[in-house]
Chain A
Amino acid sequence: MGIVTLKVNGIEARVDESWTLLEALRFLGVEIPTLCHHDGLTPYGVCRLCMVEIEEKSGTKLVTSCLYPVKEGIVVKTHTDRVVKGRRMLVELMLARCPNSKTLQDLASKMGIENIRFKMKNEDCILCGLCVRLCKEQMMSGAIGFIGRGEKREVVTPFRTKSEICRNCGACMYVCPVVELPCRGYNPQGELCNSCLRVVPECADEYGQIMCYLESCGSCVKKGEMNELVKT
């Protein structure tokens, strides 16, 4: 088992050479958003949120960290302008497709997306393929799969009828990143929620007390600090 050295956001780190870049970054505590990744499944690389920038001699290039094997001496930047801008646009695109997903709404709030510039659709699925891979790789069933191409792509059982090999185990539902309903925010369903960004919770005297739906987003603390700034 070899060890390779890489530079992540300016800090040198040593990681296992058999890892993917995403595994290494998460091991190092760098937060990388993903929707199609699951530790127990083969990486698929379709949500594109995990993309990071790698510096090369000829300039920088974007790579899919969930698929990219770590290499000796690579210089990684995880939150450059180009990456953050792209991630925001991707979440905006996904949210415009599935506005009723809590995961996507939370991601949007976390990234500070405050308006959606596309016409809202009302789909349920972002076609991340987690359910398809879980059913095949872990449940050894393969009861669902993709059909159609491009915009017509969807996840279905063969011939859209009840599959004979489906054991109703519910693993597909369990793994789905967008199936959760959103919390009730200011805006009606089907629009951007952003309630976490707007509310100033009473609990926000100290950072540790925050109990909002976002993990350590800190927006309420930020708002509290802003209020104090305004006062002084």
Chain B
Amino acid sequence: MKKIKNREDLERVRKRIVKKSDPNKPCITISSGTCCRAYGCQKVTKAFITEIEKQEIRDKVEVKTTGCLGFCERGPIVVIYPKGIYYQRVTIEDVSEIVTETILNGKIIDRLLYIDPVSGKKFVNGEEISFYKKQMRVLLKNNWLIDPNKIEDYIINGGYTALSNALFKMTPEQIIDTIKRSGLRGRGGAGFPTGVKWENCRRANGDLKFIVCNADEGDPGAYMDRCILEGNPHSIIEGMIIGAYAIGSHEGYIYVRHEYPLAVKNLKIALNQAREYGLLGNNILNSGFDFDIKISIGGGVFVCGESTALIASIEGKIGEPRAKYIHTVEKGLWNKPTNLNNVETWANIPIIINKGSKWFSAIGTEKSKGTKIFSLVGKINNSGLVEVPMGITLKEIVYEIGGGVLNGKKFKAIQTGGPSGGCIPEKLLDLPVDFEKLKETGSMMGSGGMIVIDEETCVVDLAKYFLNFILDESCGKCIPCREGTGRLSEIVERITSGKAKIEDLKLLEELSHVVKDFSLCGLGQTAPNPVLSTINYFRDEWETHIKNKTCPALVCKELIQYYVDNGKCNGCGVCKNLCPQKAILGELKNPHSIVQDRCISCGICHENCKDNAIILSSPRGKN
């Protein structure tokens, strides 16, 4: 590929690509993010290619693999352009039918369409589905249109125009001013104003400066950064080049976790293509500005998402945080001024440069601007990635986009911010989502994980899960985090096994506050949040665990008991055969019984009983 020599050349290349492509040519796009690959989308893609070759229509149809479309619940998703027909849960068996019916005959296959679980309506066009309709897809929009391995797809959709505008029409100060006025705040969780950070880094002393993209996304149940990395890597690269130009840096790093192999692969391809086109490297677009990006792959440590630990990890040291009294913008990577931003923050930059700070700051609330991607998971009908404007209420996210709680169960709480966040109960569902409002509730925005929990989830068990996650991922450097979270987990373990006294709850709260106040880095400082917020909103549930030794949600294994309802049991013997402990006795066609001493409360019998004859009770000791 010939290098793009200058600004005019970029527009010529864009026109050439536009001329080559025909917008009316049928195009089959198959979502190929990591989740869809788990559903087998690669086989579907292969099947499409073989089918098209078999039918000899290779010239008439284009097949394209894109990144994640967000509706992970329904993958693999196939969208057929130009009409935009949206097929979900496509398997290899459906492929030949789609090609003959939809592509050749123009008919729509009814059974592959999405049916709204609430209204029962069928949707042909994906954009009209309630899951997408309420969203404001700014960052994720291009995921529908772009093959992440083709830079041409990015250029045709307006890619790198922001870069050429920034390099030739704006001074670094103007760029920083635009970002400042847009009100963009760091999307990694802390919400520090991005423009201010850039300005501090530009002003910091030092001829050598670095910029870093934090792609070490580790919160359980959160994957919005992965989606951008896999589906639209050029948007991050473009953002980073603009940032580097504004700050005066010539070297950048993308720190990706090694659990994201597809993201690393797509990033590498994207970087090479950008270099071939002359958009990265020496003398970018003949502007005289040099910048290149290296990929640094993490070793799988959660705390390396913390900026100072991440920097230590890039330097080849142990990934441990340090105190941030001297900021990384002054002394960061190799003690040089370093500007570190999250994936989503970088992806926002080209959009702000293109559309202007006014457009961006018109979206959102007073202090939180723009859109935010959340990964909506847990006990919800439509799980997936949702991009919403700041200030949308939690209720809209859960009920209008998410389609309500799974299986018609009762909503209990929503956990935001991953292991550092907290639970927000039903009474606060009208809360507008922004950095400050979430913090007021004792939770946080975090990187954007949202886990919906229903009445069958025990908040004590949930707090225990997150606490054990932190305990496992604590680097162990400072005492409150290492010893404190260990002891917190010990106390919670006592509570879930019915051995706790009421003083333990007091101790739990006291210790939580000390861990929060005295820990070295953000990991420890936020570690007790799941405990504190659930105690705050669900104190009676914690107290019931301690006082009555019961788990109201029937989850904590050591506080529940399974027994057989003799009236319902028909003696089919299914449970008896499945029990791993051989704890179920009984003759065929006669009611069975459970030997409590052997039972480990695994619940297999309960799940598999067709007559619902296995009953759960709490506390133990009944029947």
Contacts and interface: CB of A to CB of B under 8 A. Distances in A.
Interface of A: 45-48, 51, 62-64, 67-69, 82, 85-86, 89-90, 93-94, 96-97, 117-119, 126-127, 146, 148-153
Contacts of B490: 118-119
B518 interface: yes
A89 B520 contact: no
A45 B323 contact: yes
Contact of A153 (B476, B487, B517): B476
Nearest to A91: B479
Contacts of B517: 51, 62, 82, 86
B477 A97 contact: no
A51 B326 CA distance: 17
B622 to A, nearest CB: 31
Interface of B: 301, 318, 322-323, 325-326, 471-480, 482-484, 486-487, 490, 507, 510-511, 514, 517-520
Contact of A150 (B326, B471, B507, B519): B471
B487 A96 contact: yes
Contacts of A51: 517-518
Nearest to B471: A150
Given A126-B479, A151-B482, 9 more contacts: A46-B479, A51-B517, A64-B323, A64-B520, A90-B479, A93-B484, A118-B487, A149-B475, A150-B471
Contacts of B482: 127, 150-151, 153
Nearest to B494: A119
Nearest to B491: A118
A48 B471 contact: no
A135 to B, nearest CB: 16
30 contacts: A45-B478, A45-B520, A46-B520, A47-B478, A48-B478, A48-B479, A48-B480, A51-B517, A62-B518, A63-B325, A64-B325, A67-B323, A67-B325, A85-B510, A86-B517, A90-B480, A90-B514, A96-B483, A96-B487, A117-B507, A119-B490, A127-B476, A150-B471, A150-B474, A150-B482, A151-B471, A151-B474, A151-B486, A153-B477, A153-B482
A46 B487 contact: no
Nearest to B475: A149
Contacts of A68: 323, 325
Contacts of B478: 45-48
A48 B482 CA distance: 12
Contacts, number: 85
Nearest to B510: A89
B204 to A, nearest CB: 16
- A-B pairs, top 6 by smallest CB distance, nearest first, are A153-B476, A93-B483, A89-B514, A150-B474, A150-B476, A67-B323
Contact of B514 (A86, A96, A152, A153): A86
Main secondary structure of the interface of B (DSSP, over half): helix
Nearest to B489: A151
A64 B479 CA distance: 13
Contact of A85 (B318, B473, B514): B514
Contacts of A149: 301, 473-476
Contacts of A63: 325
Given A149-B301, A149-B474, A47 B479 contact: yes
Nearest to A118: B487
B476 A69 contact: no
Given A62-B518, A67-B325, A148 B487 contact: no
B511 A89 contact: yes
A167 to B, nearest CB: 24
Given A69-B325, A117-B507, A153-B482, A86 B518 contact: yes
Contacts of B519: 48
A49 B520 CA distance: 12
Contact of A93 (B326, B472, B474, B480): B480
Contacts of A126: 479
Nearest to B506: A117
Contacts of B477: 46, 153
A153 B473 CA distance: 12
Contacts of B471: 150-151
Contacts of B301: 149
Contact of A48 (B475, B476, B486, B518): B518
Contacts of A146: 318
Contacts of A119: 490
A148 to B, nearest CB: 7
A45 B479 CA distance: 10
B510 to A, nearest CB: 7
Contacts of B518: 48, 51, 62, 86, 90
Contacts of B484: 93
A59 B475 CA distance: 29
Given A86-B514, A90-B479, A48 B520 contact: yes
A97 B323 contact: no
Nearest to A128: B479
Contacts of A97: 483
Contacts of B510: 85, 89
A152 B507 CA distance: 24
B420 to A, nearest CB: 16
Nearest to B504: A117
A20 B591 CA distance: 75
A118 B483 CA distance: 11
B476 A151 contact: yes
A151 B467 CA distance: 13
Contacts of A45: 322-323, 478, 520
Nearest to A129: B477
A170 B323 CA distance: 30
B192 to A, nearest CB: 15
A47 B510 CA distance: 18
B532 to A, nearest CB: 15
A176 B265 CA distance: 47
A96 B483 CA distance: 9
A63 B325 CA distance: 9
Nearest to B320: A146
Nearest to A154: B476
A183 B318 CA distance: 38
Quick one: which of B301, B475, B482, B511 has the most chain A CB within 10 A?
A: B482
B138 to A, nearest CB: 32
Contacts of B474: 149-151
A148 B472 CA distance: 11
B517 to A, nearest CB: 5
A90 B476 CA distance: 14
Contacts of A64: 323, 325, 520
Nearest to B483: A93
Nearest to A67: B323
